[in-house]
Amino acid sequence: MIYLMENGNIRPLEGKKIENMEDKNYIGLCSYEDASKYAKSFQISIRVLTKTLINHSIRFESREDLDILCIPIMDFDNIYDDAQTMHMFIGKNRFLIVCNEDMLVKNIISEITEDNNIDVSFGRLLYDFLDKLFEKDNQYIDGYENEIMELEDEVIINKESKDYVNSIVQFRKRLFTLKRYYEQMINLFNLILVNENNLLDKQSIRLLKILAGKLGRLHGSILFLNEYITQIREAYQAEVDINLNKIMKVFTVITAIFYPLTLIAGWYGMNLNMPEFKYTYSYPIVILCSIFIVIVTIAIFKKKKWF
């Protein structure tokens, strides 16, 4: 699909070929499979095109009269899956977008056309597209925050007997993925704003700086949530340690109560000729003494509030 940009408007060229690249501004939209068919029309060498499209890492390259961007289309519902990527080739009179999610780009171009924006430019198109990519990020991050708050209630307030290690680890992995994503995008924006080839006008640079500020705030939100989940993990670990200490305390008290009885049993279990063995009431007396020792020990522990 090829669009013509002139007089501040964008219109599709249905079945038409590019007439003169130097006189008019053209926008191309194609899939990765068809990208090579657009290379000649948009003055991109096959070697550069092929080398660029096989690399799907987030990046910005500045070549002579040509800026190249590779941007992921983040799917927050499947954050661990490999994200769809989009390559952009921006020149003085040409803007080629290579991606398999063409409906997203078509919708953005349609919105720009409906607005009748007389200031439309390649820079403005780039801004509108990137803004569309990030428009729901705040909503997803707010959802993550609510999930983490619910987890905090379960761990600290409700104190449900459940293993939360897996939930905490999953949150940390998700936040780490987003942290790395926003860091790479911020770095990409910094390189775009250098405007080495002077392909962006002042208005576009101003808008992109605003969007870069939004990215910085999103990155800050991710850092906050990462710190938040770390505090919950520490609180959960403290709760586990407290419960373990309680269990050990119970075992210690039981051991302390029955240790005298173990001593008595061991004493009378020795094969020695003790005089009291011949006494008729020896066993009842030993039993009563054992019960007395247990009662006194429990009373002392109760008084000391050891259990």
Average the pLDDT over 73-82 and give the result. 78
Phi, psi of 98 (to 5 degrees): -115, 115
Token pair for 73: 């289309």
Token pair for 268: 């009378």
Q: Under CATH, domain 244-304 is a member of which superfamily?
A: Magnesium transport protein CorA, transmembrane region (1.20.58.340)
pLDDT band at 216 (very low <50, low <70, confident <90, very high): very high
Unique residue bearing structure tokens 């009431």: 281
Inform me whether the pLDDT recorded for 17 exceeds 80. Answer: no
Q: What is the mean pLDDT of the chain?
A: 83
Locate all alpha helices (DSSP H) within 86-198, ordered by sequence. 102-115, 122-134, 137-152, 165-194
Inform me whether the pLDDT recorded for 159 exceeds 70. Answer: no
Inform me whether the pLDDT recorded for 80 exceeds 90. Answer: no
d(CA 195, CA 125): 15
For residue 227, CA distances in Å to 125, 139, 235 come to: 36, 19, 12
Inform me whether the pLDDT recorded for 242 exceeds 60. Answer: yes
54 by DSSP, 3-state: which?
coil
pLDDT band at 82 (very low <50, low <70, confident <90, very high): confident
Inform me whether the pLDDT recorded for 119 exceeds 60. Answer: yes
CB 115 within 8 A of CB 151: no
CB 205 within 8 A of CB 123: yes
Q: In what order do the strands lie in the sheet with 94-98?
A: 9-12, 2-6, 25-30, 94-98, 84-91, 66-73, 59-63
For residue 23, the one-letter residue type is D
Average the pLDDT over 28-36 and give the result. 87
CB 33 within 8 A of CB 102: no
CB 90 within 8 A of CB 127: no
∠ CA(52), CA(54), CA(57), 5° rounding?
A: 80
Helix (H) or strand (E) holding 94: strand 94-98
pLDDT band at 109 (very low <50, low <70, confident <90, very high): confident
Nearest CA-CA partner of 85 in 96, 74, 77: 74
130-153 confidence digits (pLDDT tens): 888 888 899 999 999 999 998 888
Q: Locate the domains of the chain by residue range.
A: 1-117, 244-304
The yes/no answer on whether domain 1-117 falls in CATH 3.40.50.150 is no
